[in-house]
């Protein structure tokens, strides 16, 4: 187990309309300093398919993509003890204060990428935000039971 502290800020602006929450950045995301940094993670590919654009490669391209589509990214946790990038190993979670993002944007819907983020959100964040969240399947390479096509279908709710 390793103590991990969230190392980069939430990504959002005043025009953000949806907030997508993970648990805490993976080892690869911490290495690149931005969300969903593991090249095997299907997050960026799924969003590119939904919005019919090319997959953003660099952090700057990812930020431009998110801004264009009014998407905010953050994580439920500001710190925890974790083994590698395994959400199932999370212990001693400390939540982020999501209200700073909610107060300074136009977030109408909150989504979580995976069951662990969803459960942690409801346990630690919902009592202060009072905003429901929608559970989406994790795009992590560890979630191989869900196909790319199934992820695209689930994440297509952004287009509604």
| Domains defined for the chain, CATH in brackets | 2-159 (3.40.470.10)
Supply the pLDDT for residue 85. 82
CA angle 26, 32, 34 (to 5 degrees): 70
Give the global pTM: 0.94
Burial class (CB in 10 A: 0-12, 13-18, 19+), 142: middle
Supply the pLDDT for residue 31. 92
Tell me the three state secondary structure of residue 92: strand
Supply the pLDDT for residue 160. 60
CA distance 86 to 28: 12
Contact present, 85 and 24 (Cβ < 8 Å):
no
Spell out the residues 6+ positions from residue 31 whose beta carbon is closer than 8 angstroms to its own. 37
Supply the pLDDT for residue 43. 96
Give 10-residue mean pLDDT values along the chain (160 residues).
91 97 92 93 96 96 98 96 85 94 97 95 96 95 86 87
């Amino acid at each position: 187990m390793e103590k991990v502290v969230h190392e980069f800020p939430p990504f959002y602006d005043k025009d953000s309309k949806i907030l997508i929450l993970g648990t805490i950045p993976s080892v690869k995301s911490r290495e690149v300093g931005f969300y969903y940094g593991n090249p095997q993670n299907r997050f960026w590919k799924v969003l590119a398919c939904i919005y019919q654009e090319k997959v953003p490669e660099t952090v700057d391209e990812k930020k431009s993509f998110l801004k264009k589509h009014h998407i905010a990214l953050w994580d439920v946790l500001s710190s925890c003890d974790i083994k590698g990038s395994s959400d199932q190993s999370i212990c001693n979670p400390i939540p982020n204060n999501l209200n700073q993002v909610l107060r300074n944007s136009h977030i109408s819907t909150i989504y979580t990428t995976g069951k662990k983020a969803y459960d942690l959100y409801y346990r630690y964040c919902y009592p202060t935000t009072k905003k429901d969240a929608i559970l989406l399947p994790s795009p992590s390479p560890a979630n191989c039971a869900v196909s790319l096509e199934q992820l695209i279908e689930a994440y297509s709710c952004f287009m509604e």
